[in-house]
Structure formats: C-alpha cells, structure tokens
Amino acid sequence: MPKSNFHFSKKLILWYLAHKRDLPWRTTAIPYYIWLSEIILQQTRVEQGLPYYQAFVNEYPTVDNLANASEEEVLKLWQGLGYYSRARNLHATAKYISNELNGVFPISYKELIKLKGVGDYTASAIASICFNEVTAVVDGNVYRALARYFGIFTPINTSLGTKEFKNLAQQLIDVDNPGDHNQALMEFGARQCKPQNPDCDTCIFNDSCIALQQKNISILPVKLKKTKVKNIYFNYIVLISKNEKTFLQKRIGKGIWQNLYEFPLIETEKDFNISELNSLPIFEDISRKFEIKSLVLYNEIPILHKLSHRNIYTRFWIAETSINNDEAISISQIESYPVPKLIGNFITTFFKLKEYGQKQKK
C-alpha cells in the first residue's frame, strides 16, 4: 500500500474506533449474522433495519432455523421493510446453505458471490469481516466519501464508475485489517460524510478533501438521472360480508410484492371515480364473482406510495358482499397474512382500530 493510502486507512480506522455505533452485528464475526445484517441493510437505514435484524435473530437464531421456515413466515416477518425480493432471496439462500452446504457458509468472496441475492458489496463485507479477506466494499456511503475526498466526477451508476470506485477502494484497503477498514469507510460515509449538509469543519480529512477545497461537496458524487418515474393507480376492493369474511389474493409473477397478499386489485393508468370504476370489465367480473351489493370509497385522497421506478396512488373501496365460500377468510385472521406496507397500514387503521366495527353498527 502506498504511504498516503496507508495513512488514509489508519486515520479512518482510528476515527471509526472512536465514533462507531454500538450495533449487534459488530460484536460478532459469525457469517450468518453478518449476512443477515447486510441483506436487511441493503437500501435501508440502520434505524429502520435494526428492529428487523433483532426480530430475525430472535425468531431464526441459525441459518437452519431460517431455512426451515416457510416463505410466508419469512415475508410476514419482513413486512414493512420493502424490496421483498431480498426476503425471498434470503430464504432461498438459507435453504441452499442448510441443505446443500450442511449449514456452513462459503469462506471466500469467490464462493460467497455465487449465493442468491449476494452481490459484490455483500460478498466483500462477509469475506472481509468474517474471514479477513482483503476485498473492498463499495456502497452508497463509500461512493460518496471517495468521490468527495478524491474529487471524482465519474457517475457512480455507470459501469465505468463502478469499476473505477471499486479499484480505488481496493487500493485503499488496509491489508492487515480489511474488516475494520471496510466498516470504517461505510460508517464514515453514513455519519460524517453525509449526503446533505455534512459537518466538514469537524471532518478528519478536511485538510485534504478535494471536494471541500473546490467547493464541490453538494454536487458529488455524480449520478446520472434515472428513467422517468411512472404514475399508476391502484384501486383495492375490500370485500366484507355480514359473517365477517373478506378476501385476499396472492400476487404472482415477477412484479412488485411478489408472493405477498392483497385485496382484489384494479390497476389503472389514471384516477377513476366510482362510475368509471363500475364500468370497467374487470370490476364487473369482481362484482359478479363476489356478489357485491354496494361500493363505498374509503379514502377521498389517494394514498401515495413511492417506489424507485413508480408512484402508486391508492384508493380503497369498501364493498358489501355475499361472499361465503372456501376462498373467503375470517377478518380475525387477516393480520396473519404477509402484505405490502401500504395494505398493512390500511388493515391496522380499518380493521384493528375498530373503524370496521363502527361502520357495521351504523
């Protein structure tokens, strides 16, 4: 390692040892716990992910325990965290490790990256923290810290940028202490070199940061604009019968919320009123199948749920129905099903907080 890089790493690790947060996965080098934490923290803030990590560790203390769970149980525990493909991949990989590898994690980056749901970042984190392999992590925090410190304008979401930052991170890594170095750089980006309004006055690198010297903190790192976000409209038909039954269906295919449950859905490209909704063939099919007697709009203002590639505007329609067949479920059982956060919030408000009961009395 060049002398300048050596001092960068040592200075960084000293900062980390003094400022690192007390997090449960930092007290262990057991691969299962490191893997679990890294999957949960992908595209998730520590504050949001920590309760989920603790819940998973309590419910599934070993990879074999996780492997023996059903996918629905895993999705239910994951509910509200988003990006549900992570949960499905987590479960699939747990089963592979338990059944094919006798519960033993691969010990090298080369083998770890072959696991489902494990990319360069996660494989590097596990390999360096658990097995002391000299392989650098590069996540959003690392991109930001390195782009600013070295004044790099290569867009981070291009193949050229990915390669450039990975090579730089690899040059900087402390070969004697790769795990702490990687965690230090990630923590530095998360707590010191923050996306907005970083405290450059107290930064340990403020005497050598190129972005600070050139007043480019606010524009680095560079990221190319994504494809335009699409607006879509979800109309959920919440079926309710006099014998307190309702209906949920599982989302299938490769779209969002795969294998989670939802109320019958009418998806449109524009906002519909009740007469327009009633005239749609898909609503006619739902109405005929479930013998809908009346339809009332629950929320006048659509609920906005933002995803990376689309804005979902959602309305819930309460439908009185004669449903009473094998497909119906008891309202008392509705919270046992894994559902998207959007629907989970509605269930909590409408059913759990007794709005449903109040409406029934009127």
Asked whether 251 and 257 are in contact (CB, 8 A), the reply is: yes
Amino acid at 129: I
Structure tokens at 141: 């925090």
Structure tokens at 199: 């405290």
CA separation for the pair 177, 183 (Å, rounded): 10
Among residues 38, 133, 164, 187, the one annotated as catalytic is 38
How many other C-beta atoms are found inside a 10 Å radius of the C-beta of residue 195?
12
* DSSP assignment letter at 117: T
CA separation for the pair 21, 104 (Å, rounded): 29
Our answer to whether residue 269 is catalytic in this structure is no
**Chain centroid, CA 329 distance in Å:** 29
* Region for 79 from its dihedrals, namely left if φ exceeds 0, alpha if ψ lies in -120 to 50, beta otherwise: beta
Question: E strands along the chain, which residues?
Answer: 230-241, 245-246, 249-250, 261-262, 265-268, 292-297, 303-306, 310-321, 329-330
CA separation for the pair 37, 19 (Å, rounded): 20
How many other C-beta atoms are found inside a 10 Å radius of the C-beta of residue 133?
18
Non-local (6+) Cβ contacts of 34 within 8 A are: 25, 28, 125, 126, 129, 130
Structure tokens at 285: 């099919």
Torsions phi, psi for 236 (to 5 deg): -95, 130
Q: Please list the active-site residues.
A: 38
